Amino acid sequence: MAKVWVNLAERIGADLLVEPSGGGRRAALTRALREAVRSGRLAPGTRLPPYRSLAADLGLARNTVADAYAELVAEGWLTARQGSGTRVALRARPPAPPRPSPPRPPPRHDLGQGKPDPASFPRTAWLASARRALTAAPSEAFGPGDPRGRPELRRALAEYLARTRGVRADPERIVVCSGFSHALRLLFGGRVLRGPLAVEAYGLPFHRGLLAGAGVRTRPLAVDADGARVDGLGGERAVLLTPAHQFPTGGPLHPRRRAAVVDWAAGGGVIVEDDYDGEFRYDRRPVGAVQGLAPDRVVYAGSVSKSLSPAVRLGWMVLPGRLVEGVLAVKGEREAWASSLDQLTLADFLESGSYDRQVRRMRQRYRRRRDRLTAALAERAPHVGVSGMAAGLHVVLRLPDGTEAATLRAAARAGIAVDGLGAFRHPDAGGPDGPDGPGGDGLVVGYAAPPEHAYEPAIRALLDVLP
């Protein structure tokens, strides 16, 4: 017989706890034993200690334990037979856990938006940077982190963003985060910025849900071929824009609208600029960041989720000086989100030129993929309009009215992962935005994720389901 230990909780058997609490002693013991059986902690057939021994160890009267046993026998939880003692009844099995749903098979063709080619991650160059960074890291890098992020990375980012994106970035105004969603949580979840917030009529539902969870009311701005209609800004305190490449419709914010939104911000508003894939522009010169026009009115945010991999959880904000302390107060005194070693590695990756080389290499690869997709569409589906081709990792296919849902169902049957344009539309956006806008039915087709050998089959499968 296993020894019964009495403490705050009493052990019966090798590893099962019984915690009598509340009410009379017999009732408390009965409840505790019943729950141990019901939950499966006392398995069917388990022999319980003789009531005399248990009573002695628990400091209870023998009749108290005997009555508790008898009540559970009467209820069917326990059985008692002469010579075999008291056991958990075989029928007293806990309810079977719900059978998990079978895992959904991965799609045969992944044409989802926002996914870089995972096979193209620069493993060798990243490892070389990690080794150099680890060797050169000062001892204090292995202690608690600075909520701003490693100074080496902030300096490297300031140089890179100024050179390639036209961002006016002082390292002291850069805060490292784990991506754009984390930036939104810090800014709005932490009440550094407050709503109401104007957003583009098309955007990621995940971001809208994150903002709604933070209690921020969003109001959509219509989108057309020149980007967001910023002339619709009213009494909002801030506006969230993707000016280099409107997500997901694809156009850059027209220069006149850039100037207009900067003028609006000069009156006390804040522009949150999501530069999610600004490095990948194919047919014209890169579009610089709005932040360069008004660094004191723009929160500029970026990450490596498209340029390297979403597995590298590193992003950044370039903040107006007056917002830095507020963001740091929300983030906390310890760096809890981004590994200091990963930050040091990215700093070396930037300073060594490896990041520039990777971006140029992937820009060429993604442009070739885009060209193959658009050529196939022109040949086999010339009735389907294509937009958003100048930049990014996806295009938008314009479908005949009323065909989006049926096309998505056909794609699912064919094993194609692809997004419908309607999924990105703000629920308060109303009807289509007009003949020059993105309203109506469409598909958002990513062309970066499939392995090279699977890209042509993915294009053929897509063409087969288009109306």
Q: Are 369 and 327 in the same domain? A: no
One domain for residues 202 and 269: yes
Report if residue 260 sits inside a domain: yes
Peptide bond into 248 cis (omega under 30): yes
- The average confidence (pLDDT) of the chain is 89
- Cα–Cα distance for residue pair 171/417, rounded to 1 Å: 40
Residue 192 near residue 317, CB atoms below 8 Å: no
Percent of the chain having pLDDT more than 90?
A: 67
Where does residue 103 fall: left (phi above 0), alpha (psi -120 to 50 degrees), or beta otherwise? beta
Phi, psi of 234 (to 5 degrees): -125, -110
Whether residue 187 is found in the same domain as residue 301: yes
Please choose, from the candidates 191, 145, 189, 140, the residue with its C-alpha nearest in 3D space to the C-alpha of residue 332.
145
Q: List the one residue out of 361, 360, 385 whose CA is nearest residue 374.
A: 385
Over residues 240-246, mean pLDDT: 96
pLDDT tens by residue, 290-343: 999 999 999 999 999 999 999 999 999 999 999 999 999 998 866 556 899 999
pLDDT of 9: 39
What pLDDT shows up at residue 457? 97
- The residue with tokens 């002291």 is 172
Residues in CB range of 455: below 8 A, 6 or more apart: 369, 372, 447
Place of tokens 């009115």: 297
| pLDDT at residue 405 in the model | 96
Which backbone phi and psi does 110 adopt, to 5 degrees? -95, 100
The domain tally of the chain equals 3
pLDDT value for 55: 79
pLDDT tens-place string over residues 356-373: 999 999 999 999 999 999
| Position 110 in a domain | no
Per-residue tokens: 282: 């194919």
Render pLDDT for 91-100 as a digit per residue (tens, 0 to 9): 756 556 667 7
- Cβ-contact 169, 176 below 8 angstroms: no
246 found inside a domain: yes
Kind of pairing between the strands at 197-200 and 16-18: unpaired
Same domain membership, residue 259 and residue 149 = yes
Residue 324 belongs to a domain = yes
For residue 83, give the DSSP letter. T
Task: Specify whether 324 is located in the same domain as 424.
Answer: no
CA separation for the pair 445, 383 (Å, rounded): 16
Examine the domain organization and report whether 369 and 343 are in the same domain: no
- Among 88, 108, 143, where does a domain finish? 88
Q: Is the pLDDT of residue 4 over 50?
A: no
- C-alpha closest to that of 290 among 302, 304, 273: 273
Backbone CA torsion sign across 396, 400, 406, 412: negative
DSSP, residue by residue, 121-187 = --HHHHHHHHHHHHHH--GGGGSSPPTT--HHHHHHHHHHHHHHH-----GGGEEEESSHHHHHIII
Q: Which domain holds residue 443?
A: 362-465
**Domain boundary, last residue among 356, 380, 411:** 356
Cα–Cα distance, 19 to 2 (Å, whole number) = 17
CATH number for 345: 3.40.640.10
375-397 pLDDT per residue, tens: 999 999 999 999 999 999 999 99
Provide the residue count of the chain. 467
Of 292, 344, 357, 308, nearest in space to 157 by CA: 344
C-alpha span between 85 and 76 (Å, rounded): 15
